[in-house]
Amino acid sequence: MKKILFNLLALAAIATVISSCKPMDKTYKALDGLPGTAKTLTYTIQAADYTNTNVYPSTSAVYKAKGFTSVADANANVPALLNFKFFDYPDGSNANITFMPLTSSIVQPDSVFKDVSYTLTYNDYLLLPGNKYADFSIAQVLSWLPYKYTTPAANQLAVLSWTFYPTINTTPAVYPGIFVSTTAGVTTATGSFLYLNGAWVQAYQITPAQYATVGRGQYNQFTAADDASLLSYLNNLLKTDPYVAGNAKVGSVQYVSFNYYSSTKVTSQRVIQLTFDGTNWARTPAVNTLTFVKSKGTWIPDPTVYYTAKASDYALIGASTLGTANGRSNYAQYGDFNIVQGSSYFWTEADIESALVLMLKTDFPNATVGIPYKITYLIYTGATTSTALTFKYDGTNWTKQ
């Protein structure tokens, strides 16, 4: 009887110890959620994450697709995964999340050519503040587009024809991706422009001379019969363009715009994203990284502020003491930083960064601490192209990321 009583007492003691552990579990969990030092998370989404029913129910689009169909789709749905897997990160933490969309590249849905093609009129040129002339450089077109298309849709395409400045007798190769011709002393340009991530960028439009090199010069378009060879054609055209080839680095991207005649006899304009792998331009899966932040106990979508340098910024830099006098004057006039070595207008990398910081200080006087600000701007390398840098504000200084 004493042995039985002893065993019962021992079991009761063990039960007490076990039960006393549960409140401690709760305490540890509570401590995990307490404010602490902000951390940075770097994570690549795994295949199993898309089918984690604790995050994405089997009826959800993410679960059914086994992935994100676009950057926007990821931006909306990644926070749920972060709140489940990384719930214990303190407020102010950042997460750099890498994923690969289901789509192998960004492809502009076929745009009926007559709907996206537009020739500028005299009044159109005057939409650009301060402009008095009926001709535009490429940089001016990029500055003008927001005044013409005030509410553009994501990935919207515009195929524009306009009187080109400078008015010189030149060849299309001087301006890659833009067709330039001179007749009776008037120079006309035709090019494609795409609205991506909140900013207009110049796409690389295939020119009549390039169509001719692959036997498609009669109508200056590809057809359904070219489908099997199309990527090879585009790769070779980019590789034989000296200005593109001279600036291509691994990971460089070109948005290639071309005219296409479908098997249903519809003429459209297509845009495809091609990425340089070090040897070829290929339609490869684009790996994307988005930034998320922990705020008020929950992860929230990419807070990046996207900004494109505009006419007032050109004037701001022109009136500053940055770079050289020639460089400032040239930038104020054309809106692009000349990075051609040996040029009297040359801007160093450090000077460009200082100019961008001046823009940010001026345009965002009440900037949010810790939020990425991605600024798109133009550079001149023999041709005008757009590029971007990202900065963060720490409450005192802007730092390039």
Phi/psi of residue 159, nearest 5 degrees: -105, 105
Question: By the 8 A CB rule, do 307 and 375 touch?
Answer: yes
The domain containing residue 171 runs over which residues?
107-282
The alpha carbon dihedral of 277, 279, 283, 284 has a sign of: negative
CB-side exposure of 363: number of CA atoms within 13 Å? 22
Question: By the 8 A CB rule, do 362 and 316 touch?
Answer: yes
**Rg, C-alpha atoms of the chain:** 28
Both tokens assigned to 15: 């039960």
Please tell me whether the peptide bond between 166 and the residue prior to it is cis, using omega within 30 degrees of 0: yes
Q: What is the mean pLDDT of residues 44-60?
A: 91
Query: Do 161 and 191 share a domain, yes or no?
Result: yes
16 in a structural domain: no
Q: Domain boundary at 302, 337, 367, which? A: 302
15 in a structural domain: no
| Cα separation, 311 vs 319, whole angstroms | 13
Query: Do 115 and 249 share a domain, yes or no?
Result: yes
Q: Domain boundary at 221, 247, 282, which? A: 282
Judged against a pLDDT cut of 90, whether residue 210 lies above it is answered with: yes
Query: Do 252 and 114 share a domain, yes or no?
Result: yes
| Cα separation, 354 vs 274, whole angstroms | 31
Question: By the 8 A CB rule, do 140 and 335 touch?
Answer: yes
Question: If we measure between CA atoms, which residue out of 294, 244, 332 comes closest to residue 82?
Answer: 294
**Beta-bridge partners for 305:** 373
pLDDT tier at 303 (50, 70, 90 boundaries)? confident
CB-side exposure of 174: number of CA atoms within 13 Å? 10
Query: Do 160 and 216 share a domain, yes or no?
Result: yes
Question: If we measure between CA atoms, which residue out of 137, 221, 215, 129 comes closest to residue 180?
Answer: 137
Q: Domain boundary at 243, 272, 302, which? A: 302
Number of independent structural domains in the chain? 3
Q: Dump pLDDT digits (tens) for 59-117.
A: 888 888 788 877 778 888 999 999 999 999 998 898 999 987 655 444 455 578 888 99
Amino acid 104: pLDDT: 44
236 in a structural domain: yes
Amino acid 239: pLDDT: 95
Query: Do 215 and 235 share a domain, yes or no?
Result: yes
Placement of tokens 């495809």 in the chain: 272
Both tokens assigned to 331: 């930038």
**Beta-bridge partners for 96:** 42, 291
Query: Do 74 and 111 share a domain, yes or no?
Result: no
Return the ∠ at Cα 279 (arms to 276 and 285), rounded to 5°. 40
365 in a structural domain: yes
Question: If we measure between CA atoms, which residue out of 119, 118, 139, 140 comes closest to residue 131?
Answer: 140
Amino acid 263: pLDDT: 76
167 in a structural domain: yes
Does an H or E element contain 260, and which?
strand 253-261
Judged against a pLDDT cut of 50, whether residue 24 lies above it is answered with: no
Coil vs helix vs strand at 288:
strand
Amino acid 120: pLDDT: 97
319 in a structural domain: yes
